[in-house]
Structure 1
Amino acid sequence: MGRSKEFEESIVLQKAMELFWQQGYEKTSLNDLVEHMGIHRRSLYDTFGDKHTLFLKAIDCFGEFIKARLKFEISRAETAKQAIQCIFDFMIEASGDRALGCLFVNSATEMAPRDKEVEEKAKEAFMQLEHLLADLIRKGQQAGEFRCDYDAEILAESLQNTLLGIRVLARTSASKEKLQRIADFSLAILNE
C-alpha cells in the first residue's frame, strides 16, 4: 500500500514556481527544488514528473496567478483607460521589491529558442494579454476615450511591446519612476 501525500500539491507547486521565477530553469537544480519545496525527490517525481514537466506546471501556475491578479486589478477600473492603466501599474508594482520580472518573459528569453513547449506557453500568455488590451482599446474607442484612427490590434501590439520591455527592465536596477515614465509615454498614443 502506497503512502499518502504529506503535502499540499498546490502549495509545493507554488514554491517550485517561486524558485524557477527567482533563479530560472537552468540554475535551479533538483536538489534546490527538493529543498525549497520541502518534499522528497521521489515525491517530486511521483507527483510532478521530471524537472521539465514541473517547470511547465510552474509556468501554468504563474499564468493562473497573473490572470487572477489582472482580473482583480481590472475589476477596480470604471473605464477602459483606467483598466489599461491598472495593467501597467500592476506590472510596474509587481516588478518592485524582488526584481524578478515576469516568469513568462524570463522563461521565453532563457529557453524559448530551444524549447518548443516553453515557447508555446510564453507565446500564448503574451497573446492573451494582447487580446485583453485590444478588447479594452476597442471599448475605449467606442466610449470616445481613445483615438480611432488606428486599429485596436495595432495599438494593443504596441502596448504589449512596452509591457514586455517593462518586464525585462524590471530584472535590472531600473527605478519604478523610470518604468512609469515609459508606461506614460506609451499610453499617450491612445489619446493623440
Structure 2
Amino acid sequence: MARTKEFDPDAALQSALELFWRRGYEATSMADLVEHLGIARASLYATFGSKRELYLKALDRYGEQRGPRIVEELSQPGPALPAVRELVRRFADESADDALRRGCFVTNTAVELGAHDADSARRVEESWNSLETALTSALIRARAQGELAPERDPAALARMLLVLLQGIRVVGRIGSGPARPRDAAAQALTLLD
C-alpha cells in the first residue's frame, strides 16, 4: 500500500519558490531546502525531482502568479497609457523599497542562470516575451486612441520599456537608493509624451 504524502506539495513548492527567490539557485543547497521546507530529502526528490527541477517548477509557479496580473493591468478597457506609466513607476518604486530588494525572480534567474542553463533561459524569454507583448498591445491601443503620437513605434517602445524594467530590477537589488530607478523611469516615460 502506498504511503500518503505527509506534506502539501503545493505549499512546499511555494515555500521553495520563496527560498530560491531570496537566496538564488547556487546559494540554496538541498540541505537548505530540506530544513526550510521541513520535508525529508527522499520525499523532496520523490515529489519534485532534483534541486534543478524544483527550481524550474518554482520559476514556472512564479510566472503563473505574476505574469497574468501585469497582462491584465495593461489590457483594461479605456485609456492605455496611464496603465503603462503606472507599471513603469511601480517597478521603480518597488526597486527602491528595502522590503522588496530581492528583485524579480525571473530577472534574478536571467542574471544567475540565463547564460548557461537553456531551460531557465527559455522560461525567462517566455516571461519577457509575454511582458513585451502586453506592453506592445497597450501602446498600440494608446496610439489608436490618440494617447501616443502616431509616429511612435509601439513595438520598439515596448522593447525599450522591457529592457528598462529588467534593468530597474537589477539596479534595485543593490539597494543604492531610489534616485537611479526613479530618474530612469521618469526619463523613459518622456518618450511616451
TM-score scaled by length of structure 1: 0.91
**Could you tell me which residue of structure 2 aligns to residue 137 of structure 1?**
139
**Alignment gaps of 5+ in structure 1:** none
SS at match of 2:138: helix
For 1:77 and 1:18, the matched residues in 2 are separated by 33
Counterpart of 1:8?
8
Q: After TM superposition, where is structure 1 displaced by more than 3 Å over at least 4 residues in a row?
A: 71-78, 92-95
Matched, 1:41 2:38: no
Q: Which residue of 1 aligns with 2:28?
A: 28
The 1:38–1:68 alpha-carbon spacing in structure 2 relative to 1, beyond 3 Å, is: farther
Cα deviation 1:120-166 (Å, max 9, x = unaligned): 11111111101110000000000111122132111111111110111
Tell me which residue corresponds to 1:88.
Answer: 88
> Alpha-carbon deviation of 1:187?
1.4
- Judging changes above 3 Å, is the alpha-carbon distance between structure 1 residues 131 and 72 closer, same or farther for their aligned structure 2 residues? closer
Deviation (angstroms), 1:174: 3.1
Whether the 8 Å CA contact 2:148–2:192 is kept in 1: the answer is yes
Tell me, in whole angstroms, the C-alpha distance in 1 between the residues paired with 2:71 and 2:161.
18
Q: What's the offset of the Cα at 1:78?
A: 4.5
Q: What's the counterpart of residue 164 of structure 1?
A: 166
Q: For 2:15 and 2:31, how far apart are their aligned partners in 1?
A: 14
Q: List aligned pairs for 1:48-67, cutoff 5 A.
A: 48-67=48-67
**Structure 2 counterpart of 1:24, one-letter code:** G
| Distance (Å, rounded) in 2 between the aligned partners of 1:167 and 1:77 | 28
How far 1:180 moved relative to its partner? 2.3
Do structure 1's residue 124 and structure 2's residue 126 form an aligned pair?
yes
Q: Deviations over 1:13-56 (max 9, x none)?
A: 11111111111111100011111122111111111110010010
**2: CA distance, partners of 1:23 / 1:133:** 30
**Alignment root-mean-square deviation, CA:** 1.9
For residues 167 and 173 of structure 1, what CA distance do their matches in structure 2 show?
Answer: 10
Tell me if the contact between 1:77 and 1:86 (Cα under 8 Å) persists in the aligned partners.
Answer: no
For residues 40 and 19 of structure 1, the distance between their equivalents in structure 2, rounded to whole angstroms, comes to 17
Once the two structures are TM-superposed, the CA of residue 74 in structure 1 deviates from its matched residue by 4.3
Residues 90-126 of structure 1: CA deviation (Å, up to 9, x unaligned):
4234432130111111111111111110111111111
Partners of 1:145 and 1:157 lie apart in 2 by 19
Kept after mapping to 1: 8 A contact 2:101/2:173: yes
**What is the alpha-carbon distance in structure 2 between the residues aligned to residue 74 and residue 153 of structure 1?**
15
Structure 2: gaps (5+ residues)? none
When residues 92 and 9 of structure 1 are mapped into structure 2, their CA distance, relative to the original with a 3 A threshold, is farther
Who is 1:107 aligned against?
Answer: 109
